[in-house]
């Protein structure tokens, strides 16, 4: 663990470097596209390690519910992963003009979905910062503030642990810099 913050409601936010597919939490968040075609990036790694069941359930979700929106993530079982569920959040492309509110909606929607599933722990990647091209330096404060805002408006949440799992040192550094900003995390 690199950093940790406990909110007034007792929930803990952790920043770690690692592989999200190794996380033993109730759910991991997949940085997905609206059609849940998990071919590359975090999505590809999740299906590769978790098994084809994740892709099959994802396709069934889209068939039943249509394309996934930013605010209403899908979820599937986790296959061979050490977690119970995968929450498939659609993040924005870095070139979109309204990328900040879309990323915020994806984070808050993922927490809401975890709450609906009765989960106590969740791990996020740096949504949209890979192949979607959202700069990590901009995504980090959006993710932190979205988590903080969700917890402020849901003080009785069952979610007790929120972990941000960052794969590469550059992304970790961007999130560490944002963590240290005065207006984040009650600093």
Write out the DSSP string of 97-143.
Answer: TTHHHHHHHHHHHHHHHHHHTT-SEEEE--TTSSTT---HHHHHHHH
pLDDT for 187 equals 47
pLDDT for 115 equals 96
Q: Is the model's pLDDT at 182 over the cut of 60?
A: no
- Across the chain, what does the average pLDDT equal? 93
Q: Is the model's pLDDT at 34 over the cut of 70?
A: yes
3-state secondary structure of 166: strand
Q: What's the first-to-final CA gap in the chain, in angstroms? A: 19
- For residue 2, give Cα distances in angstroms to 16, 125, 130, 176: 5, 15, 21, 9
CATH top-level class of 27-179: alpha beta
pTM of the model: 0.94
Ranges of each domain in the chain: 27-179
Q: Is the model's pLDDT at 67 over the cut of 60?
A: yes
3-state secondary structure of 36: coil
Q: Is the model's pLDDT at 110 over the cut of 90?
A: yes
pLDDT for 161 equals 98
How many other C-beta atoms can be found within 10 angstroms of the C-beta atom of residue 25? Answer: 22
* Contact in structure between 164 and 172 (CB atoms under 8 Å): no
pLDDT tier at 1, thresholds 50, 70, 90: confident
């Amino acid at each position: 663990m690199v950093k940790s913050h406990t909110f007034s409601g007792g929930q803990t936010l952790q920043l770690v470097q690692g592989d999200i597919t190794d996380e033993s939490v109730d759910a991991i968040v997949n940085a997905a596209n609206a059609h849940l075609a998990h071919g590359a990036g975090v999505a590809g790694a999740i299906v590769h390690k978790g098994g084809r069941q994740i892709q099959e359930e994802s396709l069934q979700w889209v068939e039943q519910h249509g394309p996934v929106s930013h605010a209403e993530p899908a979820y599937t079982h986790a296959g061979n992963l050490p977690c119970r569920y995968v929450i498939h959040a659609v993040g924005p492309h870095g070139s979109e003009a309204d990328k900040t509110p879309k990323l915020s909606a994806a984070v808050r929607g993922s927490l809401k979905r975890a709450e609906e599933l009765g989960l106590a722990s969740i791990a996020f990647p740096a949504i949209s910062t890979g192949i979607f091209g959202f700069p990590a330096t901009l995504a980090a404060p959006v993710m932190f503030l979205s988590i903080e805002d969700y917890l402020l408006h849901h003080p009785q949440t069952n979610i007790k642990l929120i972990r941000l799992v960052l794969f590469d040192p550059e992304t970790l550094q961007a999130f560490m810099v944002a963590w240290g900003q005065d207006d984040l995390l009650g600093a």
